[in-house]
Amino acid sequence: MKLTFLGADHEVTGSCTLLEVGGKSAFIDCGMEQGRNVYQNAPSPVPADKLDYVFLTHAHIDHSGNLPLLYKNGFRGAIYATKETCALCVIMLKDSAHIQESEAEYKSRKAERAGLPSIQPEYTLEDVEGVMKLFRPCEYGSQIQIDEAVFVRYIDIGHLLGSACIEFWLKEDSAEKKLVFSGDVGNTNQPIIRDPQKVEEADYLVIESTYGNRLHGERAGHVEALADCIQRTLDRKGNLVIPAFAVGRTQEMLYFIREIKNSGMVKGHDGFKVYVDSPLANEATSVFMQCDTKCLDDETRAVMARGENPIVFDGLITYVTTEDSKALNDDPEPKVIIASSGMCEAGRIRHHLKHNLWRSECTVLFVGFQAEGTLGRALQDGAKKVKLFGEDIAVNAEIAVFPGISGHADKQGLLDWVSGFKKKPKKVFVNHGDEDSCTEFARCLREEHGMDAEAPYSGTVFDLEKGEYILKTNGVLVEHEEKRAPLGSAIERLIHAAKKLLDAAHRSHGLPNRELAGYADQIERIAEKIGK
């Protein structure tokens, strides 16, 4: 009966932990690494074709993204997840496969010109279709017997539609232990989904620490602030452009706008139109609209009880085709446009920025974190001019920001969730946080809350029956080639900017693969140009 820590240890992405009990083996999550890889991940001692199960906490790619690769490598066991996670994985893993195939095609063209072999994608749409057949939908709150050694229960953790904390009851010979994986703990008072539900007992706890060393700060009244932003933009006869992540944040914006329309908070613009210009977002919105009402908070269920759809309203228009998206920029009517990507580095949002940034009557509203080095961050920081599609675009539009929106609990939120345990777990393992976050949160649990807490590195093995480490690693840093900067202010600025870009990439966990691929394409083009 043991745990082997494999991924998201002193890092944020690539979540994966191996559980071995009763002669069977299982992964808890099988995520893709995104952004800069800091520590080497230890290989799984159990090959894919010998693995029996996967228990998935939620659909985000840093938790689910390597499932098709696991299938490609021979896995044919069962994947347990909530019904909503299963539905979101269909669209998100297909999107990921599309990115894998597109990147491989692009790199293969380059390789062929250089006389090198073609590049194969990590996995394909065929692998996604295969792995989706292995999913086993689970209900929140129902204890499920997996085999003689394992019982599980999925508890709503309020991070994303369908996200879950997983409780494990484990039996091996005469030993019985309870293990809990928090998954990603959600922020409180988010629209649509419920607040994180607490767990009362565990022998061992594995908890995330994405924001384990910081607080989100005060939250604005988002509905009122959004209504005011819409009002002043439409009054100027401009467009309100909202860059938003396709899954989660887009649906939150639709929820807020429905409230605004129903309450008549925007005056003089009855029936103003709202366009969601993102195929992935529109597919995700369909999943939200068809989900089990058990996943929804009280306010959203009350809306539905009145016969209303919480994220659909008069004037909402979804565009899917590229032609429709282009035509939108020729429409002179003032409107709200929601498009991805959330940091403006790829996708249709860049076209809308090109056509609206130079217009002083328009507004660009940021509703999510903007990493350093991204177009979104440059705009947020006051850039007066940006380059889009090879053209310099003046920034005359109003740039507005909603602070305090996050799908993750901050440090206090994590502590509040841990306070739900009536008795302190024997051991707490802190993962899914960068070096500073995970070590600080583990320290806080030890020194301020009297818990036996540590942040293990990849490759660490712990015996759950004996309560002791079998192997304790120190972590192996990934070697990154960095050139020393010669003298000269221009080259020093270039190297400094490149380091900032690496830092931004390291913080890009949880973004959609399509968006990350767009970043990668741009970086590769710059690298090719510099290397000539």
For range 471-498, the mean pLDDT: 65
- Residue 4: CB atoms within 10 Å: 23
3-state secondary structure of 443: helix
What average pLDDT does the structure give for the chain?
Answer: 90
- Residue 399: CB atoms within 10 Å: 16
pLDDT value at position 492?
Answer: 55
pLDDT of 521 above 60: yes
pLDDT value at position 33?
Answer: 87
Q: Same topology for domains 2-215+407-471 and 222-401, yes or no?
A: no
pLDDT of 377 above 90: no
pLDDT value at position 438?
Answer: 97
| Size of the chain, expressed as the number of residues it contains | 532
pLDDT value at position 98?
Answer: 86
183-216 pLDDT tens trace: 999 999 889 999 999 999 999 999 999 999 999 8
Percent of the chain residues past pLDDT 90, beyond the cut: 68
Strand ranges, E, within 22-117: 24-28, 53-55, 78-82
pLDDT value at position 531?
Answer: 61
Q: What angle do CA 165, 67, 44 make, to 5 degrees?
A: 85
Write down the pTM of the prediction: 0.82
Percent of the chain residues past pLDDT 70, beyond the cut: 93
Report d(CA 224, CA 465) in Å as an integer: 53
pLDDT value at position 527?
Answer: 78
Least confident range from 113-122, 232-241, 248-257: namely 113-122
pLDDT band for position 482 (50/70/90)?
very low
pLDDT value at position 487?
Answer: 38
51-71 pLDDT tens trace: 999 999 999 888 999 999 999
Strand-pair category, 427-431 with 135-138: unpaired
For range 105-120, the mean pLDDT: 87
95-109 pLDDT tens trace: 889 878 888 888 888
Sequential DSSP letters for 356-398 = HTT-TT-EEEE-S---TTSHHHHHHTT-SEEEETTEEEE--SE
Pick the closest to residue 223 from 269, 277, 261 (CA basis).
Answer: 261
Least confident range from 29-38, 112-121, 370-379, 450-459: namely 370-379
Report d(CA 90, CA 61) in Å as an integer: 12
For range 501-508, the mean pLDDT: 64
Higher pLDDT: 458 or 406? It is 458
pLDDT of 79 above 60: yes
pLDDT value at position 320?
Answer: 74
pLDDT of 485 above 50: no
321-353 pLDDT tens trace: 888 888 898 899 999 999 988 888 777 899 999
Specify the CATH number of the domain 222-401: 3.40.50.10890
Ramachandran quadrant class, 407 (left: phi over 0; alpha: psi -120 to 50; beta: rest): alpha
pLDDT of 392 above 90: yes
Least confident range from 159-163, 247-251, 316-320, 364-368: namely 316-320
Ramachandran quadrant class, 151 (left: phi over 0; alpha: psi -120 to 50; beta: rest): beta
pLDDT of 488 above 50: no
Task: At 365, list the tokens.
Answer: 């509203």
For range 460-471, the mean pLDDT: 97
Pick the closest to residue 458 from 179, 49, 44, 25 (CA basis).
Answer: 44
pLDDT value at position 484?
Answer: 38
| Domain topology for 2-215+407-471 | Metallo-beta-lactamase; Chain A (3.60.15)
**Could you state, in order of their start, the residue ranges of all structural domains in the chain?**
2-215+407-471, 222-401
pLDDT of 410 above 60: yes
pLDDT value at position 383?
Answer: 94
- Name residues whose C-beta falls within 8 Å of residue 227's C-beta, 6 or more positions apart in sequence: 260, 265, 266
Higher pLDDT: 385 or 342? It is 385
pLDDT band for position 494 (50/70/90)?
confident
Helix orientation angle between 125-132 and 83-113, rounded to the nearest 10 degrees: 160
Sequential DSSP letters for 76-97 = -SEEEEEHHHHHHHHHHHHHHH
pLDDT band for position 366 (50/70/90)?
very high
What is the chain's Cα-based Rg?
24
pLDDT value at position 486?
Answer: 40
